[in-house]
A = this chain, B = another copy of it.
């Protein structure tokens, strides 16, 4: 999608995504079907790819990070299913397919989302048992688990979703918009790289650099999404554009205008690039990724 290494990691995630789901029996098969439906609907797999590449960057084995990588995609997917529900954004289309509740009904979509969030934790917790006799590795895994739990919770992603709800249909301050973006999209992206780094028992300095990189990347990514919602077409986006305006959502273009928003994307991208360029060749994957994401609006 963005370069060969990205495609390789994305492929790895796609191959393993369903294999870590907890086994369930036929009697609750429809919720499982609904879970798989949304997991199979495509997507960039940005969060798991970031987790795997951060782990590798810090000297870890990417295969050992796969359960956590898949778990973070379960969390992202659950958040999309719940976000699309009629009582939230009420969207019919996602990644070019009918949204989960359009296919399975609101009741099953709700449960499928709940089950994906719970499964994410089940998968990561089960993974800890592999390291019961390797104290240092076990502690690093617990730190990674803690990082993801924080990023997806009400000090992270859910805080952003809630602030997003609060700010609809009313004047939103710049401070509030920043808060929404940093939490709703940013928190889980930052958690992805931090968890990846923790899994490799990274040192603090590298952890800090990766965090700053991910924060800038996440912000650039979200503003790009806001711009694409204004100017993109349904085929490329996989969903109907113009929804943010309809719903009077707080977005960068709405608050700062289109030009300043593009400027902000470039600025955050350069910030991200600068941090990882200091690692020279070793940081090139992250540099290329930041540039490629910004190119979506060039």
- A residues bordering B, Cβ < 8 Å? 22-25, 27-28, 30-32, 35, 78, 82, 85, 87-88, 105-108, 110-111, 113-115, 117-119, 121-122, 125-126, 128-129, 132, 135, 138-139, 142, 145-146, 149-150, 152-155, 158-163, 165-166, 176, 179, 183
**Residue on B nearest A108 in the bound complex, by CB:** B165
Whole-angstrom distance between the Cβ of A51 and the nearest chain B Cβ:
17
Which chain B residues border A121 with CB–CB below 8 Å?
A: 121, 149
Stoichiometry, copies per complex: 2
- Can you list 7 A-B pairs with a CB-CB distance of less than 8 A? A27-B162, A28-B183, A31-B162, A111-B165, A118-B149, A122-B153, A125-B142
Which chain B residues border A115 with CB–CB below 8 Å?
A: 153-154, 158
- Give the residue among A118, A135, A139, A163 with the most B Cβ atoms within 10 A: A118
Closest 7 CB pairs of A and B: A87-B106, A28-B162, A31-B162, A118-B153, A28-B159, A115-B154, A122-B149
- The one of B105, B125, B132 in contact with A139, judged by C-beta atoms closer than 8 angstroms, is B132
In the bound assembly, the distance between CA atoms of A32 and B162 in angstroms comes to 9
Known: A28-B159, A31-B162, A139-B132. A114 touches B117 (CB 8 A): yes
Which chain B residues border A85 with CB–CB below 8 Å?
A: 87, 110
